Chains A and B, each alone.
Chain A
Amino acid sequence: MGEVKGGRVQAGTFEQVVLPHLDAAYNLARWLVRNSHDAEDVVQEAYLRAFKFFGGYQGGDARAWVLRIVRNTCYSFFEKNRPAELAEQFDEEIHTAGPEQPSTETELLRSADSRMLRDALSELPVSFREVLVLRELEGMSYKEIAEIMSVPIGTVMSGLARGRAQLRERLLRVRAEGERRALRK
């Protein structure tokens, strides 16, 4: 801290522009690093970075600006502490093959309870998790998500398609496991 060039950061402005997005920042970090302790550390680190870079903030969507920093901070955290997490996304195909149960799946998706959904979402590879969190929980547009993840809009679209398909497969699998357990009892 303290490296802010005099006069470039107007007092109060950082507070007005960046702090209102703290919940969004925490939500993204919490879903990416998957525990509250690390998420709080990542968000604090990201906010300090945001403060340093605030002189270069050109206006525009402040939430996307902050979330991009939060995301990058999460990835630095992964590189340093959990490199395996980043490797995970490459063997996703192994996990995707699941049973097809077309007759009841729609019903399942409607009735999936919050715990099932939370588990299924948090088990997705990080790249799908983040695109789904930004779209479904933060309600961001493809353009905003593309900006945050530094990828083309087409990548956002296919990431959502694959992420949602995987989420669906996982829900189906969890339900099938639950049924097997129920039968055994």
Chain B
Amino acid sequence: MPCENNERLLHGYFDGELDLVRSIEFEEHLKTCVDCARGLHELQDLRESLRAANLRQRASEALRSRIRAALPVDARPQPIAPPRRPMLEWFAAAAAILIAIFLAGKLLPNIGGQKPNLVAEEIVASHIRSLQPGHLLDVESTDQHTVKPWFDGKLDFAPPVIDLASKGYPLVGGRLDYLGHRNVGALVYQRRKHLINVFVWPEELGAAKLPELQTMQGYNLIFWSYHGMYFCAVSDLNAAELHQFAQLLEQ
């Protein structure tokens, strides 16, 4: 058992919930307190056992369908992906977009890419869509040497793929996605139960002045660029950890 005064601190420390100062203080305490050090080991073992036991229960398909069926018709999914649209509507939409782009090109010749917010909105929409069943991964692997070659021939650039499992952000896989009228790479990482999508596209997509950090619909987005490529990490993970993740990827 941990020593009485520090029991709550031990749990806060173990869960990564102490602020920096208290965390450093507690690490000092751990050096001299055998009970707390053993308590920390026990907590780690308990968590490992819980993970290995795979106790998380998943909703059945029957429940999923029952809930969908119980929703009013207008709450059911609208077609999101262009291929699902009826052809005519799709052509009309495409024509409208072309006209809009043409007009925008005439009227606003200086705007190179999309507005930052449009990019962010597209990214959030793609992220949400990727979380729907069966949409997350085209290639499922925790091995960067499997995921990276998979993009060969599918993109006209090579997104850097690194595994961060040792840092607590394991690679889950990757997929092709579509942003700003072009194919982009999407890498999927995980932090506890939070999924992180990292979109990668070459610089010519435009949108040169994206904000570094943005929150939209409850999702955090972090943008950065590196070696002529643009990156955006998006997740429901808290901003601090997402920031740490982005820094690890940048290195």
* B-side contacts of A135, CB under 8 Å: 15
Residues A136 and B47 in contact in the complex (CB < 8 Å), given A15-B77, A40-B60, A51-B75: yes
Interface residues of B in 12-71 (CB under 8 A from A): 12, 15, 17, 38, 41-43, 45-50, 52-60, 62-64, 66-68, 70-71
Contact B57 A20 (CB under 8 A): no
Q: In the complex, which residues 161-183 of chain A have their Cβ closer than 8 Å to any Cβ of chain B?
A: 161, 164-165, 167-168
Total interface residues on B, CB under 8 Å, equals 54
Summarize A's interface: helix, strand, loop or mixed.
helix
- A86 CB–B CB distance under 8 Å: no
CB distance from A133 to the nearest CB of B (A): 8
Min CB–CB distance B46 → chain A (angstroms): 5
State in angstroms the CA–CA spacing of A27 and B55 once bound together.
9
In the bound assembly, the distance between CA atoms of A109 and B238 in angstroms comes to 30
Chain B residues whose CB sits within 8 angstroms of the CB of A62 once the complex forms: 218, 236
The residues in A between 77 and 136 inclusive whose CB is less than 8 angstroms from any CB of B are: 105-106, 109-114, 117-118, 121, 135-136
B residues near A31, Cβ cutoff 8 Å: 57
Partner of B42, one of A1, A14, A105, A142: A105
Q: How far is the CB of B72 from chain A (nearest CB, A)?
A: 6
CA distance A183 to B72 in the complex (A): 61
A19 touches B67 (CB 8 A): yes
| Residue B143 at the chain A interface, CB threshold 8 Å | no
A-B contact count (CB 8 A): 151
CB neighbours (8 Å) of B70 from chain A are 1, 44, 47-48
B60-A109 in contact (CB<8A): no
CA distance A179 to B53 in the complex (A): 21
CB <8 Å contact, A23 and B78: no
Q: Which of B41, B52, B53, B192 contacts A106 (CB 8 A)?
A: B41
A30 in the interface (beta carbon within 8 A):
yes
- Check A24 against B193 for contact (C-beta < 8 Å): yes
Give A132 to B63 CA distance when docked, in angstroms.
Answer: 24
Known contacts A139-B192, A142-B15; is A26 also within 8 Å of B55 by CB? no
By a CB distance below 8 angstroms, the chain B residues around A114 are 52-55
**B120-138 near A? 1/0 per residue, CB < 8 Å:** 0000000011011000000
A76 on the B face (CB < 8 A): no
Interface assignment of B148: CB less than 8 Å from any CB of chain A = no
Add 12 more A-B contacts to A19-B132, A26-B63, A118-B55 (CB < 8 A).
A11-B78, A12-B76, A16-B129, A22-B59, A23-B56, A26-B59, A43-B63, A118-B53, A121-B50, A140-B192, A142-B15, A161-B7
Identify 11 residue pairs between A and B in the complex whose beta-carbon atoms are under 8 Å apart, listed by A's number.
A2-B72, A12-B80, A14-B71, A15-B76, A36-B60, A44-B70, A51-B72, A112-B53, A114-B54, A121-B50, A136-B50
